[in-house]
């Protein structure tokens, strides 16, 4: 069960036309998750409530309950969405077999390039990490993703020739630099280039 930030909304109404209302607009699970994500990014987890989400989607509360059991169910889907976005990056740039055919340097730079190409991802990361301050489920999700990113970077630094402890040190510095950029929400190219410059420095150090 999600933590206090995921408290239940009042019992739902049961309008007979809820399904028809939602179907008439062609709403999908993804539309509801998109609306919840936008609210999370703009205003934080406390505003991701049924009334607000339904308003964003242009339907009544009944339309929401036709699609989801309760608020918790939607928030679980929202958290799963964030995990899936990051998991796709990890699968493509960290654990994909093709990465083992590249030099460690190129693999690390490819990961940084992919981070920089994800439009809006830094805002999403920042919002979920804010959510994690009040939710044990969100905290566990961010910790698991962080561990996978750092583990992948450790493997690449180790493959480059560094001892395990040195590889862990470099991976920790580089990944936390990336998180710092997410927190600062600075996306101009000189800032993005700083991750590449840091990676090249750590590979030489």
In the chain, where the domains are located: 4-72, 82-204
Q: How many CB atoms lie within 10 A of CB 74?
A: 23
Q: What is the pTM of this model?
A: 0.79
Q: Is 82-204 the same fold as 4-72?
A: no
What is the CATH topology of the domain spanning 82-204? Tetracycline Repressor; domain 2 (1.10.357)
pLDDT for position 147: 95
CATH number of the domain located at residue range(s) 4-72 in this protein: 1.10.10.60
Tens-digit pLDDT profile for residues 132-143: 999 999 999 999
Tens-digit pLDDT profile for residues 94-123: 777 777 778 888 888 888 888 877 756 788
């Amino acid at each position: 069960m999600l933590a206090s930030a995921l408290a239940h909304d009042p019992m739902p109404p049961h309008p007979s036309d809820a399904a028809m209302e939602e179907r008439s607009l062609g709403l999908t699970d993804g539309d509801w998750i998109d609306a919840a994500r936008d609210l999370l990014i703009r205003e934080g987890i406390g505003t991701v409530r049924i009334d607000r989400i339904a308003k964003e989607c242009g339907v009544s509360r009944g339309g929401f309950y036709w699609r989801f059991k309760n608020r918790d169910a939607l928030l679980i889907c929202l958290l799963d969405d964030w995990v899936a976005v990051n998991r796709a990056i990890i699968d493509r740039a960290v654990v994909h077999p093709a990465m083992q055919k590249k030099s460690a340097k190129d693999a690390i730079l490819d990961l940084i390039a992919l981070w920089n190409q994800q439009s809006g991802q830094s805002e999403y990361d920042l919002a979920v990490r804010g959510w994690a301050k009040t939710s044990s489920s969100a905290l566990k999700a961010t910790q698991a993703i962080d561990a996978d990113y750092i583990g992948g970077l450790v493997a690449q630094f180790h493959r480059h020739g560094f001892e395990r402890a040195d590889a862990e040190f470099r991976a920790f510095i580089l990944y936390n630099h990336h998180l710092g950029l997410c927190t600062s929400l600075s996306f101009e190219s000189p800032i993005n280039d700083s991750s590449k410059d840091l990676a090249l420095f750590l590979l030489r150090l």
